[in-house]
Amino acid sequence: MFRPLVLPLLALLLVNNAGAETADREKPMNITADNCSLDQKTQQSVCVGNVVVTQGTLVLRADKLTTRQDEKGNQFAQGEGRPVRFKQKLDTGEMLDAESLRFDYDGGKGLMTLIDKAWVKRNQDMVVGDTITYDMNTEYYQAQSKTGGRVNITLMPKKKEASK
């Protein structure tokens, strides 16, 4: 059972459509792994062993990655690892790092969910929870902890420009 804690402040921390390196979405995606199987007829693939996905500045590392695409072109992915690691450069030049034991991406609904021991870091700001979900359509974030657990957020004060 999860107890949700809605965190609008996460919008300042997590990557969003406007924040991620804009050009990344237009670049080809490359997947390398120890072993992959691809069924072009069903548009499904399973890659295992040292999986590395790159698309522009986005780098994802996992132990296993399962992907599929529906008839409408929506993409779906699930991954697991010890842990799964994400890194991406934002349009601001800042780096965003994230980690979890599993993730689920639903391109049809526009949802990315980091599951189990999840955290997201941007500069010195950090969010830690059992599950962190981002709705790309509404830019709505939710961090959850297991019953009896807690979500932890650290937001560092922004440095003020020195007066001239």
162 belongs to a structural domain: no
Residue 159 in any domain: the answer is no
Q: Does residue 42 sit within a domain?
A: yes
Whether 148 is covered by a domain: the verdict is yes
Name the residue among 66, 85, 87 with its Cα closest to residue 75. 66
| Residue-range definition of the domain harbouring residue 127 | 2-154
Separation in Å, CA 17 to CA 20, 33, 47: 6, 27, 26
With respect to residue 129, please indicate whether it lies within any of the assigned structural domains: yes
Predicted confidence pLDDT, tens digits, the chain (164 residues): 333 333 333 333 443 444 555 567 677 788 999 999 999 899 899 999 999 998 888 899 999 999 998 888 888 899 999 999 999 887 788 888 999 999 998 888 888 899 999 998 888 888 899 999 877 777 677 899 998 889 988 888 877 766 55
Q: Count structural domains, the chain.
A: 1
- pLDDT of 162 reads 60
**CATH code for the domain of 130:** 2.60.450.10
**Side-chain-side CA neighbours of residue 23 (13 Å):** 6
Q: What pTM was estimated for this model as a whole? A: 0.78
* Residue 140 Cα distances to 53, 72, 76, angstroms: 25, 24, 19
